[in-house]
Amino acid sequence: MSITYNEKERSFKLRANNTDYMFKVINGEYLGHVYYGRKVPDEDMDWLLRFDESPFTPEKNNRDRAVYLDTTPFEYPCFGIGDYRESALKILDSDGMSTCDLRYVSHRIFDGKPALEGMPATFATEKSPAQTLEVTMKDAHTGLEAVLVYSVFENLDVITRSVRFKNTSDKPIKLTRALSACVEFDTDKFDMITLNGSWARERHIERAPLHHGKQSIDSCRGESSHQNNPFAALCDRNADEDMGEVFGFNFVYSGNFVAQAEVTQHKKTRFVMGINPLDFEWLLDAGETFTAPEVVMVHSDEGIGKMSRIFHDLYRENLIRGEYKDKRRPILINNWEATYFDFNTDKLIDIAKEASKLGIEMLVMDDGWFGHRDYDNSSLGDWFVYEKKLQGGLKHLVDEVNKLGMKFGIWFEPEMVSPDSDLYRAHPDWAIQIKGRDMTLCREQYVLDYSRKEVRDYVYSMIKNILDNANIEYIKWDMNRQLTEVGSAALPPERQRELWHRYVLGVYDLMGRLTTDYPHILLENCSGGGARFDPGMLYFSPQIWCSDDTDAIERLKIQHGTSICYPCSAMGAHISDCPNHLLNRNTPFKTRGHVAMVGTFGYELDVTRIPQEDRDMIPAQIEEFKKYNPLVRTGEHFRIGNMFEDNTWDAWMFVANDKSEALFEFVQVMARPNYRSRRIKLKGLDPDAYYYEESEPDKLMSGAALMNAGINCAKIWGVDGIKGDYSSKILHFVRK
């Protein structure tokens, strides 16, 4: 049993592999948090509870009840009753009051993990099972009921949280803040790690010590965003990749969010995560329900690296679904950076012909094939073929590509509408807007009101028409702008603030329909690069385009940051042309290959026009990718270099789960003179086993020496090694 209830203490203990999480029903029927961290024996539970410690004693100290409420560590704190720290719940009742006071009513423990209605969430599998605890709480004054849902993945150090609300009264209640999780820690000695950036430099790592007050990241853009990823970790001040205690939190959601740590007056930390309360409201009429999305909590007692590997294992087994879950993805060539909008059937077939000869397996036709789209200023919403470009139609093109032995993939941006489109002219009210106000254009487009079923149905019928008329085996689902003037022509005034969340639910509904109706189609999510690289999207698509920045050197940071909580096997990564279109930087074709090999791998260039020497490298590059992809998809990932600390080099490893082989990749960003006799320590090997590097099968090295002393760097940049800036090398270690 990973979840136990102690009747006498009225306490709950959730054991996830090496992690314990404890809370209990305390005086006054509140739910008090006890402990989260490394495993502790059951018999220590009673003194750990410490609720007899002043001022945790409301019945003995009723005159200072507010002190009690402002000090006690709570599982799900409510606004208005004297807890002045960040709350998880705030309401507006039918009298216009914002106070809520949830108290314990009952609980149940059961095997498995229920799905969240209409929303993505992790799920239990036979290989990685889960157990669930639901604690029902109620506010007697308003009749608002909240069910706190905890699931424990017993083989992983993972606990998930979400909350289901129900209005059990006959009067309306509005939720104005309904976060998914609150976790209390007895210390302020934490660093907070977040993944931040902008377009073309997503998920760069930031790390800063907590201090008094609130430190938060959020999105209020309607998507999880380029700027802040819905991830945060709290770690020991001295934690590094390999040691120290780390608590990682990731929100399984693709819209507005907040992640916040607050250091309180007593130098403790309260962490909360959930839908961003900014501009959020949800009306619950009598009997209605609302579910707050899932937060995944990972605990590592061996540094940031182990936290990442736990996230990777969980997402690969318990979040990603579909036919490609455990399969190598087809090696694709995408025409975006090759042609942008300037292509036609002949050009695409020329690219496909050359690509197929080299071993590339799929052609992806990106933006510009529909309506009358010659630039980014028209036709979104008109999902019919632009005959001027695709002479002979889509089926003809797809058939020709299939005849070459290649699959065919296509780009859509289903959530958008261009002002210059038949769709907008017919249904201007289908765009998100506030009647009478100017609408803000962004990339020359508006956002469709996905809270409306008729809008989703229409878009889906157009997409279906395309999919049913040609052999399409891959879709890139793009989303290229954020939301503004958030209003819906279909919602009453008292429900307008629900649109942010209803929009996200609409997106999930359509992605769900698409992946159910077309299970064989490989879906890749994308949002102006990597603005929706989040677990919500991973539930629908086993891969997500990491960034519009395809420069191999910039990708080192982006991919390193992304790997903090997302598996490399889900990172869309392509070899693009040089000089790089964003940075004008030239990097060797080989290095571009080694960096793209970390992810799903593909090409994004005009293969008919690149230098012959680069083209000649492609077949061997593809073989190399195929050889190592099983390790990347299923192995354990270890970060060795860190470009955020030293941007002259980077290195990482993928190690087979049985430790029988390991791939080591090294990129020399800046060559350095006279840099001798140095070693790099490998990670994750079996210390007691002997390994050889594939190019020297007779030279055995112990795992212990490779990890504790390190490989001699002469192996990398010695006489036969790599030379110059931006060069790279891979080494393959095999157990004897």
Nearer to ligand DGJ, 223 or 548 (CB): 548
Rg, C-alpha atoms of the chain: 27
- Is residue 225 at the binding interface for ligand DGJ, with CB under 6 A as the rule? no
Give the footprint of ligand DGJ on residues 519-578 (CB under 6 A): 526, 528-529, 545, 548
Residue entry with tokens 């990129």: 667
The residue annotated as part of the active site, out of 20, 101, 191, 548, is 548
- Residues 720, 344: Cα–Cα separation, whole Å: 45
Residues β-bridged to residue 289: 166
For ligand DGJ, the closer of residues 169 and 480 by Cβ is: 480
Pair of tokens at residue 209: 């010590």
Q: Which is nearer to ligand DGJ, 549 or 614 (CB)?
A: 549
We find the least distance from the C-beta atom of residue 522 to ligand DGJ, in angstroms, to be: 16
The residues, any chain, with a CB within 8 Å of residue 561's CB and separated by 6 or more, are 195, 197, 202, 203, 204, 205
Residue 264 or 480: the one with the smaller Cβ distance to ligand DGJ is 480
Strand segments, DSSP code E, in 27-168 are 30-38, 89-92, 103-111, 130-139, 144-153, 158-167
Query: DSSP letter at 381?
Result: T
Shorter beta-carbon distance to ligand DGJ: residue 483 or 655? 483
Residue 358 CA to residue 249 CA, distance in Å, equals 42
Q: 409 near 426, Cβ under 8 Å?
A: no
**356 to 375: interface string for ligand DGJ, x by CB under 6 A:** ----------xx--------
d(C-alpha 319, C-alpha 107), whole Å: 26
What residues form the annotated binding site for substrate? 199, 366-367, 443, 476-480, 526, 548
Nearest distance, CB of residue 659 and ligand DGJ, angstroms: 37
> Distance of CA 275 to CAs 214, 495, 553, 555, 736, Å?
17, 16, 34, 29, 51
CA distance 650 to 536: 30
Cβ proximity of 296 and 245 under 8 Å:
no
Decide if 577 is catalytic.
no
Nearer to ligand DGJ, 370 or 545 (CB): 545
Q: Catalytic residue at 101?
A: no
Tokens describing residue 643: 């470009």
Which 616-635 positions form the footprint of ligand DGJ (CB under 6 A)?
none
- C-alpha–C-alpha distance, residues 88 and 103, integer Å: 14
Binding of residue 414 to ligand DGJ (CB under 6 A)? no
CA distances from 688 to 638, 653, 658, 693, 733 (A): 19, 19, 13, 16, 14
Tell which residue, 466, 340, 473, 333, has the closest CA to residue 408: 473
Q: Name the residue number minimizing CB distance to ligand DGJ.
A: 367
Which amino acid is located at 298 in the chain? V
Beta carbon nearer to ligand DGJ, 478 or 551: 478
To ligand DGJ, the closest distance from the beta carbon of 280 in angstroms equals: 28
Which of these, 294, 22, 31, 3, lies nearest to 152 by C-alpha position?
A: 3
Q: Considering Cα of 366, then 595, then 195, then 178, what sign does the dihedral take?
A: positive
Q: Scan residues 299-338 and list those touching ligand DGJ (CB under 6 A).
A: 336
Considering the complex, state which of residue 376 and residue 399 has its C-beta at the smaller distance from ligand DGJ.
376
Q: 582: burial class by Cβ within 10 Å (0-12, 13-18, 19+)?
A: middle
Catalytic site residue from 70, 83, 478, 650: 478
At closest approach, how far in Å is the CB of 367 from ligand DGJ?
3
Closest contact distance (angstroms) between CB of 448 and ligand DGJ is: 16
- From the number of C-beta atoms within 10 Å of its C-beta (0-12, 13-18, 19+), residue 57 rates as middle
Query: By CB under 6 A, how many residues form the interface with ligand DGJ?
Result: 11
Minimum Å gap between C-beta 665 and ligand DGJ is: 24
Q: Are strands 649-655 and 661-668 parallel, antiparallel or unpaired?
A: antiparallel
What does the per-residue mask of binding to ligand DGJ show for 456-485, with x meaning CB under 6 A?
Answer: ----------------------x-x-----
> Which stretches of the chain bind ligand DGJ, using CB under 6 A?
336, 366-367, 411, 478, 480, 526, 528-529, 545, 548
Which residues does the annotation mark as catalytic?
478, 548
